[in-house]
Amino acid sequence: MEITYYGHSCFSVKIGQKTILFDPFITPNEKASNINISEVKADYILISHGHYDHIADAVLLAQQNDATVVSNYEIVDWLSKQGATKGHPMNIGGHWFFDADDNGTKFKVKCVVAVHSSVMPDGTYGGNPMGFLIESAEGNFYYAGDTALTYDMKLIGDYKSIDFAFLPIGNNFTMGIDNALIASEFIKCQNIIGMHYDTFGYITIDSVEAAAKFQMAGIDLQLFNIGETKTI
């Protein structure tokens, strides 16, 4: 699968003919000033929770790409009132099959628990925060959103084999490196892509130390450069 990093917790993953974009926060992110927002593609925009650093560019990118917003009911409803009119509301525990191409191939999105908070930028209730488990013919992956380490992650590891996972590693607002290592064990995944680090002062990490800790545990930690595309 082709993965592109747009900074903070924003990644796109291409499945079949479709591009899934997670948690767009690009134009307000000084670290992502090399990204031309008008070139960011998305067929689906998946949003883990209502905080500004996860939805800032959701309406713009939904309109620009005629993309479908997938999130909890409260966030889909709020974004529809801001102009992102194509939405698919879900909630934790549910799954849905979305088109990976125009020939009937699907990928599966399952909403899973995240331990965090969720409120929209204007104070509107933002529902429960969540993560996403994506299953496709090309592989399975887990996008954790903003979350603490939680024992519920063991359910994900028992439920499906995970080829790679996006985990927050920046600490302070989410789990940090040490807890992300335990999370990797809970979900039984050897390929971790770090997110939610270095964007703000509170979440600055020592990436050399992070790499060393993961290497000691025999788990691969990938830290993308902003704008970088890799195939996993």
Q: Among residues 56 and 189, whose Cβ is nearest to Mn ion?
A: 56
Among 43, 57, 146, 198, binds Mn ion (CB under 5 A): 146
From first CA to last CA, the distance across the chain in angstroms is: 5
Instruction: Give the residue nearest to Ni ion (CB).
Output: 51
Question: Which one of Ni ion, Mn ion, none is in contact with 198 (Cβ closer than 5 to 8 A by kind)?
Answer: none
> Max CA-CA distance within the chain?
48
Question: Which one of Ni ion, Mn ion, none is in contact with 138 (Cβ closer than 5 to 8 A by kind)?
Answer: none
Question: How far apart are CB 191 and Mn ion at their closest, in Å?
Answer: 22
Buried b (16+ CB within 10 A) or exposed e, 108-123: ebbbbbbbbebbbeee
Q: Rounded to whole angstroms, how far apart are CA atoms 156 and 152?
A: 7
Half-sphere exposure of 22 (CA within 13 A, CB side): 29
Q: Among residues 4 and 118, whose Cβ is nearest to Mn ion?
A: 118
Q: Among residues 98 and 197, whose Cβ is nearest to Mn ion?
A: 197
Question: Which one of Mn ion, Ni ion, none is in contact with 18 (Cβ closer than 5 to 8 A by kind)?
Answer: none
Three-class SS state of 193:
strand
Question: How far apart are CB 119 and Mn ion at their closest, in Å?
Answer: 12
Residue 138 in contact with Mn ion, rule: CB under 5 A: no
Strands (E) in the chain, as ranges, are 2-5, 11-15, 18-22, 44-46, 68-72, 87-90, 95-99, 106-113, 130-136, 139-143, 164-168, 191-195, 220-222, 229-231
- A 10 A CB-CB count for 73 gives 14
Using CB under 5 A, list all residues that contact Ni ion.
51, 146
Question: How far apart are CB 53 and Mn ion at their closest, in Å?
Answer: 4
Question: How far apart are CB 121 and Mn ion at their closest, in Å?
Answer: 12
Question: How far apart are CB 125 and Mn ion at their closest, in Å?
Answer: 17
Interface contacts to Mn ion, rule CB under 5 A: 51, 53, 146
